[in-house]
């Protein structure tokens, strides 16, 4: 009898601990990153992809250096009647204000990719805030629109970065499909990587001035269309409220 009481208490304690861990791993009602419980610490996680039954994916382009191919990217997106998200670095906005206007006027979404493209996980909160506020200000000065999305340079983040982004009403966006187009891959290699990994709710990472982005993008969009996918900007894919984010960065609708 004494053994049964001890065993019962042990089970109850285990269940209670499990429930706490599950609750801590969820970000509820529109928080911009998940708080995940690991041992005695809590780690925040941005959005990597979205759980959805819809055949919908989002495509995104990080813009930090060069703009030679950007206008052609816009033309290809228009040709396939799809939208996309451009994450712009502040110094890129300085150099290519007319292109920022072109992106915006084409009805494409613009997010911030920092102001100077540092590893922001190595910065203090004051510097992080300056990076984000400065880049947001530059984008708004050109488009007149609020900036709602942020992608960290190099995909590097920590709790401080996500806390500051959250305080500025930014949703921090990662990706689950990396084209690796910046490595000089051929168009077929780029499209092969993307198409072999894409699924409902995927966020695809590309770069606006990589060597074979144009031909790769055309191959990707053509195949996604054949497969019945809707391709959109990130803002039209993610849930804006009443959601959770699990420890793998998957956003779930409540």
Exposure string of 5-37, with b = 16+ CB inside 10 Å and e = fewer, is: eeeeeeeeeeeeeeeeeeeebbbeeebbbbbbb
Residue 206 CA to residue 65 CA, distance in Å, equals 13
Question: d(Cα 30, Cα 177) in Å, to the nearest integer?
Answer: 24
pTM of the model: 0.86
pLDDT at residue number 150? 98
Kindly report the average pLDDT of the chain as a whole number: 89
204: number of Cβ within 10 Å? 27
Q: How far apart are CA 210 and CA 64, in angstroms?
A: 11
Q: What is the mean pLDDT of residues 22-37?
A: 47
CB-based burial, 119-133: b 16+ in 10 Å, e otherwise: ebbebeeeebbebbe
Q: Are 175 and 130 in contact, with CB atoms under 8 Å apart?
A: no
Give dist(CA 192, CA 2) in Å, integer: 62
- Sign, CA torsion 220/195/201/36: negative
Q: pLDDT digit string (tens) for 84-121?
A: 999 999 999 999 999 999 999 999 999 999 999 999 99
Please report the domains of the chain, with CATH numbers, ordered by start residue.
48-237 (3.20.20.370)
Count of alpha carbons within 13 angstroms of residue 130, beta-carbon side: 7
**Residue bearing tokens 């699924």:** 199
Distance between CA atoms of residues 150 and 203, nearest Å: 13
Tell me the per-residue pLDDT of 144-173, one tens digit each, with 9 for 90 and over: 999 999 999 999 999 999 999 999 999 999
How far apart CA 16 and CA 23 sit, in angstroms, is 11
Burial class (CB in 10 A: 0-12, 13-18, 19+), 233: buried
DSSP state of 47: B
Overall average pLDDT of the 218-242 stretch = 97
Length of the chain: 254
Mean pLDDT across 215-232: 98
Give the model's pLDDT for residue 14.
Answer: 52
- Residue 42: pLDDT band (50, 70, 90) is confident
Work out the percent of the chain whose per-residue pLDDT is above 90. 83
3-state secondary structure of 39: coil
Give the C-alpha separation, 52 to 210, whole Å.
Answer: 30
Average pLDDT over residues 31-50: 69
d(CA 162, CA 45): 8
What lies within 8 Å, CB to CB, of 100 at 6+ separation is 88, 93, 110, 139, 142, 143
Dump pLDDT digits (tens) for 15-27.
Answer: 455 554 444 444 4
pLDDT > 60? residue 41:
no
């Amino acid at each position: 009898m004494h053994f049964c009481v001890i065993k019962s208490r042990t089970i109850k304690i285990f269940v209670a601990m499990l429930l706490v861990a599950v609750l801590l791993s969820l970000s509820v009602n529109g928080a911009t990153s998940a708080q995940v419980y690991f041992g005695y610490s809590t780690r925040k996680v941005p959005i990597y992809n979205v759980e959805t039954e819809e055949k919908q994916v989002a495509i995104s382009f990080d813009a930090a250096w060069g703009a030679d191919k950007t206008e052609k990217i816009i033309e290809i997106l228009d040709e396939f009647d799809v939208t996309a998200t451009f994450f712009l670095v502040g110094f890129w906005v300085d150099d290519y204000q007319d292109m920022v206007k072109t992106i915006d006027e084409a009805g494409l979404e613009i997010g911030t990719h920092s102001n100077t493209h540092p590893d922001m996980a190595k910065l203090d909160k004051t510097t992080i805030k300056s990076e984000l506020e400065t880049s947001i200000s530059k984008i708004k000065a050109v488009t007149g629109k609020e900036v709602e999305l942020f992608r960290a340079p190099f995909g590097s983040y920590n709790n401080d970065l996500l806390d500051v982004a959250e305080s500025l009403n930014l949703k921090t966006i990662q990706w689950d499909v990396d084209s690796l187009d910046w490595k000089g891959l051929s168009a077929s290699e780029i499209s092969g990587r993307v198409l072999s990994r894409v699924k409902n709710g995927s966020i695809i990472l590309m770069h606006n001035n990589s060597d074979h982005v144009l031909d790769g993008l055309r191959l990707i969009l053509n195949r996604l269309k054949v497969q019945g996918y809707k391709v959109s900007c990130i803002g039209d894919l993610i849930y804006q409220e009443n959601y959770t984010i699990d420890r793998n960065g998957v956003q779930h609708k409540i």
